[in-house]
Amino acid sequence: ARKGERIRQVAAIPFRLSEHGNVEVMLVTSISTMRFIVPKGWPMKGKSGRKAATIEAQEEAGVLGKTLKQPAGTYSYW
């Protein structure tokens, strides 16, 4: 990527609602660095962003679930 160029990735922040209706966010750590990560990856040809994010969550965190119908947001990092 060239300097200043935006690169698109897809990600999933695993969460669930507790029996009391509270949001519980799953913390995921990297095996190699033991740092907290957001399961993310590159868009996949022939798959929607939602589907690609679902696959990344399963591959990187072993999480099975549903994605929101609309993205929760976007963020930039460098």
Mean pLDDT of the region 19-39: 94
pLDDT of 1: 63
Amino acid at 6: R
Amino acid at 72: A
The CA distances from residue 51 to 19, 32, 66, in Å, are 27, 26, 9
Q: What is the pLDDT of residues 46-68, one digit of tens each?
A: 999 999 999 999 999 999 998 88
For 37, other C-beta atoms within 10 Å of its C-beta total 16
pTM for this structure?
0.77
Percentage of residues in the chain having pLDDT higher than 90: 68
